[in-house]
């Protein structure tokens, strides 16, 4: 089901959809990001907000057809079809990886499902099959069939309600060298790109104010690209895997340029500790993350960091541990902070060998 336009669960009630869109429209983007934290595909949260604003700004209420839904920011063909058929009973198809697998086996289609022309043909086929009287139920049933019975590697053909009409199943019975799982064609996935990142958790103490703990610097990522507009600890992307000295040199240069944090000139280093490393998986990136904790006392206090910036243009900020614990942060940033907390408590956090860190995946097709 769609990940971010769950408004279609208000089946057949446009007033509820309008109300939900209006509620979301007033949320600040930062609040949306915080609620979205840990779900992956973070731009969808931003699209949800922008789409809600478009709906509220329009004069025709919540769109109830594929043609109008497709004009809303963040809604593509799949999501539009799901909303229109399930919430508003429009006889339109919904095609995801599960549906492609079911249709490919039903018609014994061996073409590459990733091919653009083949993908369009699956949409056309699904449109021919959709039940005009109950399109929402039909689409959900087709997706559920692929998710539960017509699975990728172990289809339950004997339990399948459409096995008698399945061309792939029929061929497998006629010829033992043919398997239902031959359909659709297996697509070799591209290996994720590997990169390396050095993260510096910069904690600033203010001993003059008798603070029991410091404040942590967070940097806001650019509004476009990976993890757009989200907050993270200061970090640098490395050209290749590097030793401690190289990583610290890169971090030192970054801290100097970005925050005027320079030992012996603008700050005193209280402590600097390497905390460990872990691997974080994005959709197409396998990132090795090195983490260190740098605790400093600034010569001029934290005011020196913000003196040339207005509140509405801040690209970074200082927050206390209490605020940091409640912020909507990505799973990777939370992993970093958990390493900091473990260090302060005198324990250690083992590398995430099971890769429970957020692994974003699209629906499986093969």
The pTM of this model reads 0.71
Mean pLDDT of the chain: 83
- Give yes or no for residue 47 having a pLDDT over 70: yes
More confident residue, 256 or 208: 256
Q: How far apart are the first and last CA of the chain?
A: 18
| Beta bridge pairs of residue 219 | 232, 316
Averaged pLDDT for residues 219-229: 77
Distance CA 84, CA 67 (A): 9
User: Using an 8 Å Cβ cutoff, are 275 and 234 in contact?
Assistant: no
Give one DSSP letter per residue of 201-212, joined into a string. EEEEE-GGGT-S
Look at 24-28, 80-84, 123-127 and tell me which has the smallest mean pLDDT: 24-28
Tokens of 104: 């490919």
**Helix (H) or strand (E) run with residue 180 in it:** none
Q: Specify the 3-state DSSP secondary structure of 21.
A: helix
Provide φ and ψ at 244, rounded to 5°. Answer: -60, -45
Domain assignments of the chain as residue spans, ordered by start: 193-344
- Give yes or no for residue 316 having a pLDDT over 60: yes
Predicted confidence band of residue 213 (pLDDT cuts 50, 70, 90):
low
Distance CA 186, CA 154 (A): 15
Helices (H) and strands (E) in the chain, counts: 14, 7
Averaged pLDDT for residues 359-365: 36
CA dihedral 262, 230, 196, 363 (to 10 degrees): 180
The residue among 239, 338, 238, 332 whose CA lies nearest residue 280 is: 332
**Hey, what CATH topology would domain 193-344 get?**
Nucleoside Triphosphate Pyrophosphohydrolase (3.90.79)
Distance CA 255, CA 314 (A): 16
- Give yes or no for residue 11 having a pLDDT over 70: no
Distance CA 4, CA 2 (A): 6
Residue-level length of the chain? 366
Look at 65-69, 84-88, 221-225, 269-273 and tell me which has the smallest mean pLDDT: 221-225
- Give yes or no for residue 35 having a pLDDT over 70: yes
User: What pLDDT was estimated at residue 352?
Assistant: 45
Instruction: Centre a 10 Å sphere on the Cβ of residue 109 and count the other Cβ atoms it contains.
Output: 20
Distance CA 233, CA 231 (A): 7
The residue among 262, 265, 271 whose CA lies nearest residue 292 is: 271
Look at 138-142, 224-228, 357-361 and tell me which has the smallest mean pLDDT: 357-361
User: Using an 8 Å Cβ cutoff, are 51 and 72 in contact?
Assistant: yes
User: What pLDDT was estimated at residue 25?
Assistant: 59
* Cα Rg, the chain, nearest whole Å: 26
Which one of 29-38, 53-62, 175-184 scores highest in mean pLDDT? Answer: 175-184
Distance CA 119, CA 117 (A): 5
């Amino acid at each position: 089901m769609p990940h971010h336009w769950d408004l279609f669960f208000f089946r057949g009630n446009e007033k509820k959809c309008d109300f939900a869109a209006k509620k979301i429209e007033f949320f600040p983007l930062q609040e949306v990001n915080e609620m979205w934290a840990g779900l992956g595909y973070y731009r969808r949260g931003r699209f949800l907000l922008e789409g809600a604003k478009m709906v509220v700004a329009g004069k025709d209420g919540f769109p109830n057809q594929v043609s109008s839904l497709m004009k809303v920011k963040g809604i593509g063909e799949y999501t539009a079809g799901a909303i229109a058929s399930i919430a508003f009973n429009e006889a339109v198809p919904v095609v995801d990886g599960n549906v492609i697998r079911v249709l490919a086996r039903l018609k014994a289609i061996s073409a590459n499902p990733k091919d653009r022309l083949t993908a369009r043909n699956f949409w056309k086929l699904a449109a021919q099959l959709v039940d005009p009287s109950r399109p929402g139920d039909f689409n959900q049933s087709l997706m559920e069939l692929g998710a539960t019975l017509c699975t990728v590697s172990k289809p339950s053909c004997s339990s399948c309600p459409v096995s008698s009409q399945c061309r792939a199943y029929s061929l497998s019975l006629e010829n033992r060298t043919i398997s239902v799982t031959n359909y659709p064609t297996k697509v070799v996935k591209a290996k994720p790109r590997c990169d390396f990142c050095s993260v510096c958790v910069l904690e600033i103490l203010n001993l003059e104010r008798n603070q029991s703990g410091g404040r942590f610097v967070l940097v806001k990522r650019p509004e476009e690209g990976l993890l757009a507009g989200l907050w993270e600890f200061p970090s640098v992307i490395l050209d290749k895997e590097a030793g401690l000295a190289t990583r610290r040199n890169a971090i030192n240069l970054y801290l100097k340029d970005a925050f005027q944090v320079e030992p012996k000139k603008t700050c005193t280093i209280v402590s600097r500790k390497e905390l460990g490393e872990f691997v974080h998986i994005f959709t197409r990136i396998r990132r090795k993350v090195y983490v260190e904790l740098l605790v400093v006392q600034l010569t001029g206090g934290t005011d020196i960091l913000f003196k040339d910036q207005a509140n509405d243009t801040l690209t970074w900020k200082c927050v206390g541990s209490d605020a940091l614990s409640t912020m909507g942060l990505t799973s990777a940033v939370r992993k970093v902070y958990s390493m900091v907390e473990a260090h302060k408590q005198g324990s250690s956090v083992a590398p995430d060998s099971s890769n429970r860190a957020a692994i974003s995946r699209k629906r499986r097709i093969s």
